[in-house]
Amino acid sequence: MARKLGILGGSGLYEIEGLQGAAWTEVETPWGKPSDAFFTGSLNGLDLVFLPRHGSGHVHAPGDVPYRANIDAMKRLGVTDILSISACGSFREEMAPGDFVAIDQFIDRTVGRPSSFFGSGCVAHVSMAHPTCPRLARAAVAAAREAGATVHEGGTYLAMEGPQFSSLAESRMYRESWGADIIGMTNMPEAKLAREAEICFLTLAMVTDYDSWHPDHGSVDIREILATLAANAGHAKGTVAAMPGLLDHETPCPHGCDRALEHAIMTKPAARDPALLAKLSAVAGRVLEA
């Protein structure tokens, strides 16, 4: 089966260029309206779907992004792989502003965001031990390098609630005691929801600042972030452009991302809530309707 790449564009990435047969598509979901219409088309033979997670004009705050609607809609559009390109702070000297980091772990400190498609009436527990897809990571790392970026392979992303940035004490704690490498506000619950929807997922963090811990840099400031984003927009766009030649089309996913629900649903068929099952038709239809 040919793969279809979904791109979630973060701060500073509200459009992509060069799609053949490009069109904007509105998608209805049982979880509400997605962040925006989806920009669909193909790029050198690869079907691609782009969504600016904050909406065009940056209208959705990190805590209010309609994460479930976004991932459900990607599933409805046939997306098999999601590359999330996100602006992030760094807790590591060597992960410098302008660099990219292919994330392989998360610490979720978000609160009050709906973080699952499942719940009372259909309970499911998927594994998040390895939350990102190594096959997709290999392609994205190679693509970003081809685009000229410095790329670090592996890193732990701390997802904070925001929208305020961290205090100095929090910044030090995440870095020194918790071992986080990168900080951002959006990739949780996105990564959890992609796993529940059986979509391969990778966060490509674009480092924009040293948060507030670095003795030689001031506290993180939005002007610094925007300047770094503007300087690196070419790397982000170049990464997307290089993906078609690098994403392998092996199916099923050798890491099991596309079978995450295989043994995850606990609720017995007779006890399942029909209303919730109807909402789950896109993300879990493969296992619920088998």
Ligand X SMILES: Nc1ncnc2[nH]cnc12
Active site residues: 209, 211
Pick the closer one to ligand X by CB: 40 or 187.
Answer: 187
Residue 111 is given by DSSP the state: -
User: What span, in angstroms and rounded, lies between the C-alpha atoms of 107 and 13?
Assistant: 24
Q: Could you say which residues in the range 208-267 bind ligand X, by CB under 6 A? A: 208-209, 211, 220, 225
Q: Supply angle C-alpha 51, 53, 57, rounded to 5.
A: 95
Integer CA distances (angstroms), 201 to 69, 82, 178, 179, in order: 16, 5, 23, 22
Contact between 89 and ligand X by CB under 6 A: the answer reads yes
> In the complex, which residue's CB is closest to ligand X?
89
CB 4 within 8 A of CB 82: no
Burial (CB < 10 A; 0-12, 13-18, 19+), residue 129, is: exposed
Torsion of CA 178, 181, 184, 187, to 10 degrees: -90
Is 174 annotated to bind a ligand? Reply is no
Contact between 95 and ligand X by CB under 6 A: the answer reads no
Is 54 annotated to bind a ligand? Reply is yes
One of 102, 122, 183, 188 touching ligand X (CB under 6 A): 183
SS (H, E, C) 115-142: CCCCECCECECCCCCCCCCHHHHHHHHH
Contact between 185 and ligand LNRAV4D5 by CB under 6 A: the answer reads yes
Q: How far is the CB of 179 from ligand X (least distance, A)?
A: 17
Is 99 annotated to bind a ligand? Reply is no
Q: Could you say which residues in the range 50-89 bind ligand LNRAV4D5, by CB under 6 A? A: 53-54, 62, 86-87
Q: Could you say which residues in the range 135-174 bind ligand X, by CB under 6 A? A: 160, 165
Residue 101, strand partner residues? 152, 205
Q: Which residues of the chain form contacts with ligand LNRAV4D5 (CB under 6 A)?
A: 10-11, 53-54, 62, 86-87, 162, 184-186, 222, 225
**Site of interaction with ligand X (CB under 6 A):** 87-89, 160, 165, 183-185, 208-209, 211, 220, 225
Q: Which residues are annotated as a binding site for phosphate?
A: 11, 53-54, 86-87, 186
